[in-house]
């Protein structure tokens, strides 16, 4: 059951008691408590300006656009397929477009009318963790693990990279435009928050250095402050002009992973590796509510349009919705735990290797689901790249490989970069022949169409 502190003002309690019919109606309308459609842990969520569409990104290499119906019914979903690795962050743009970034190092500009790629901007090979869009939507800034941020002019014809923001001594984890659009701020693993001029791309100064990596950053209303989250759990507010911390907020006991600002600029939220979410009032920073999901980190947050709920995501394949106000008497956290990749209670070493190495990306069942890789059901004897309905990379479509005991063992001995070069498969290796033999034996049993039914989870393509 969720742990929560209830910090309602008396006026809110009275209003709640006075309007039971209205609240019952609101509980039936809008976003449901869970959105299921991804096939892997969800990395981020972002609502559009209307409040009727949500963009989510996932380890399953996909982004999804969720749309509320005009009347009753479940939200519909449209899947954006184009990245070659986990998709880490995304935002809606005007003219029915969106932008996403990925572990594949690329940024993609999407046409949401056709779910097609308008432009692809290649990085240098390292993951891009997050992005921000300038207030006028002319620029997109991305945080890269190449020790730099990049700014793209997406209003130009053609869109192109405008600047590389350099001077960092470590990975760049987050970026934020100033509220007036004239500056770009970066948060780095080297502990620094830096300010760059958007006209020139020049580094102007390092505002502060915490000595611990800074994971996340948001520009706050008024244009004078930044909210930040640090790997040591520190959460606070920084004065841009002086570089001084003007607010120190309750810390998380694990790294701070996500921040959100409500559309009306009246609330902010922090989420941590400890599973705790806190909601604060603006501008007072009074703690309004606290929620705890004991089953894992909070990688992404965003408020609903009226700021009464928060979308939050992490290790689950689903998006969860927490009702901030009015609070519910009981809030069970309905997740499967341990998750398929957290198996420990098995005597089969092959099943253990499968859970750890394969199950995030693959399933073992005929229906397969939409994970980063196709189902392994019936994989033995199947030619690589031939399962109907899965968007294989060209490398696997052209591969002359039949999956059997030897080729699957080779995959984990030499690695996919050697056995299937150019494919989307992440680098996974097993050092000992005993581990490889155990995994192959488990897969042969678990994927046999004539064998007993198995749990979902899975590896080769």
CA of residue 203 relative to chain centroid, distance: 28
Pairing mode of beta strands 287-292, 256-261:
unpaired
Q: Bigger pLDDT: 9 or 59?
A: 59
What does the block give as tokens for 166? 């350099």
CATH 2.130.10.10 fits 3-20+34-323, yes or no: yes
Secondary structure of residue 94 in the 3-state scheme: coil
- Given a cut of 60, whether residue 50 has pLDDT beyond it is yes
Under 8 Å between Cβ of 380 and 403: yes
User: What's residue 332's pLDDT?
Assistant: 66
Contacts 24+ apart (CB under 8 A), 98-106: 98/55, 98/63, 98/65, 99/131, 99/133, 99/140, 99/154, 100/55, 100/57, 100/63, 100/131, 101/128, 101/129, 101/130, 101/131, 101/142, 102/61, 102/127, 102/128, 103/127, 103/128, 105/144, 105/146
- Rg of the chain in Å (alpha carbons): 23
Write the burial class of residue 152 (CB in 10 Å: 0-12 exposed, 13-18 middle, 19+ buried): buried
Closest CA to 257 of 247, 271, 240, 268: 271
> Across residues 173-184, what is the average pLDDT?
97
Strand order through the sheet with 34-36:
34-36, 318-323, 309-313, 300-303
> Mind listing the pLDDT tens digit for each residue in 203-242?
999 999 999 999 999 999 999 999 999 999 999 999 999 9
Contacts 24+ apart (CB under 8 A), 356-360: 357/412, 357/428, 357/430, 357/439, 357/459, 358/428, 358/439, 358/457, 358/458, 358/459, 359/456, 359/457, 359/458, 360/40, 360/41, 360/59
Under 8 Å between Cβ of 102 and 88: yes
User: What's residue 15's pLDDT?
Assistant: 35
Q: pTM for the whole thing? A: 0.80
- Given a cut of 50, whether residue 13 has pLDDT beyond it is no
Whether the bond between 283 and the residue before it is cis, its omega within 30 degrees of 0, is yes
User: What's residue 340's pLDDT?
Assistant: 59
Averaged pLDDT score across all residues of the chain:
86
- Given a cut of 60, whether residue 9 has pLDDT beyond it is no
> Across residues 392-402, what is the average pLDDT?
85
User: What's residue 4's pLDDT?
Assistant: 43
User: What's residue 375's pLDDT?
Assistant: 86
Q: State the sign of the Cα–Cα–Cα–Cα dihedral 401, 367, 84, 258.
A: negative
CATH 1.10.150.670 fits 340-446, yes or no: no
User: What's residue 338's pLDDT?
Assistant: 60
Q: Which residue has the tokens 């689901």?
A: 369
> Mind listing the pLDDT tens digit for each residue in 339-370?
555 666 677 888 888 877 777 778 888 876 66
Rounded CA-CA distance 195/205 in Å is 6
- Given a cut of 60, whether residue 21 has pLDDT beyond it is no
Rounded CA-CA distance 446/126 in Å is 35
> Mind listing the pLDDT tens digit for each residue in 268-326?
999 999 999 999 999 999 999 999 887 889 999 999 999 999 999 998 889 999 999 88
Domain ranges across the chain: 3-20+34-323, 340-446
User: What's residue 329's pLDDT?
Assistant: 63
Secondary structure of residue 265 in the 3-state scheme: coil
Secondary structure of residue 361 in the 3-state scheme: coil
The rounded percent of the chain whose pLDDT value lies above 70 is 86
Rounded CA-CA distance 140/268 in Å is 22
User: What's residue 396's pLDDT?
Assistant: 84
């Amino acid at each position: 059951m969720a742990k929560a502190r209830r910090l309602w003002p008396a006026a809110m309690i009275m209003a709640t008691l006075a309007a039971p019919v209205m609240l019952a109606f609101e509980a039936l309308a809008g976003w449901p408590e869970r959105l299921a459609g991804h096939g892997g842990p969800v990395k981020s969520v972002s609502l559009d300006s209307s409040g009727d569409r949500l963009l989510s990104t996932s380890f399953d290499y996909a982004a999804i656009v969720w749309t509320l119906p005009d009347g009753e019914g479940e939200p519909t979903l449209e899947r954006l397929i184009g990245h070659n690795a986990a998709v880490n962050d995304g935002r809606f743009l005007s003219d029915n477009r969106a932008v996403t970034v990925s572990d594949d190092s690329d940024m993609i500009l999407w046409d949401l009318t056709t779910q097609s790629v308008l432009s692809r901007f290649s990085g240098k090979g390292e993951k891009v963790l997050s992005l921000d869009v300038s207030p006028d939507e002319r620029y997109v800034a991305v945080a890269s693990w190449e020790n730099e941020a990049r700014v793209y002019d997406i209003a130009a014809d053609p869109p192109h990279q405008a600047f590389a923001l350099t001077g960092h001594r470590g990975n760049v984890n987050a970026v934020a435009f100033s509220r007036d659009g004239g500056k770009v701020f970066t948060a780095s693993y080297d502990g620094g928050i830096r300010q760059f001029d958007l006209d020139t791309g020049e580094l102007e100064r390092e505002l502060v250095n915490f000595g611990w990596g800074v994971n996340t950053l948001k520009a706050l209303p008024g244009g004078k402050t930044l909210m930040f989250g640090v790997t040591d759990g520190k959460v606070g507010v920084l004065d841009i002009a002086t570089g001084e911390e003007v607010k120190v907020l309750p810390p998380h006991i694990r790294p701070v992973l996500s921040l959100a600002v409500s559309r009306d600029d009246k609330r902010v939220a922090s989420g941590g590796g400890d599973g705790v979410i806190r909601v604060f009032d603006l501008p007072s920073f009074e703690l309004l509510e606290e929620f705890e999901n004991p089953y894992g980190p909070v990688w992404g947050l965003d408020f609903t349009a009226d700021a009464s709920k928060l979308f939050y995501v992490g290790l689950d394949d689903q998006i969860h919705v927490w009702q901030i106000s009015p609070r519910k008497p009981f809030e069970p956290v309905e997740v499967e735990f341990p998750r398929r990749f957290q198996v420990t209670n098995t005597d089969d070493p092959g099943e253990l290797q499968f859970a750890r190495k394969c199950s995030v990306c693959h399933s073992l069942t005929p229906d397969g689901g939409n994970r980063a890789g196709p189902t392994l059901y019936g994989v033995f004897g199947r030619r690589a790249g031939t399962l109907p309905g899965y968007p294989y990379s060209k490398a696997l479509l052209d591969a002359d490989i039949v999956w059997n005991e030897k080729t699957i063992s080779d995959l984990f001995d030499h690695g996919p970069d050697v056995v299937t070069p150019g494919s989307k498969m992440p680098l996974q290796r097993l050092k000992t022949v005993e581990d490889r033999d155990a995994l192959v034996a488990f897969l042969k049993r678990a994927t046999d169409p004539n064998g007993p039914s198995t749990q979902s989870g899975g590896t080769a393509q």
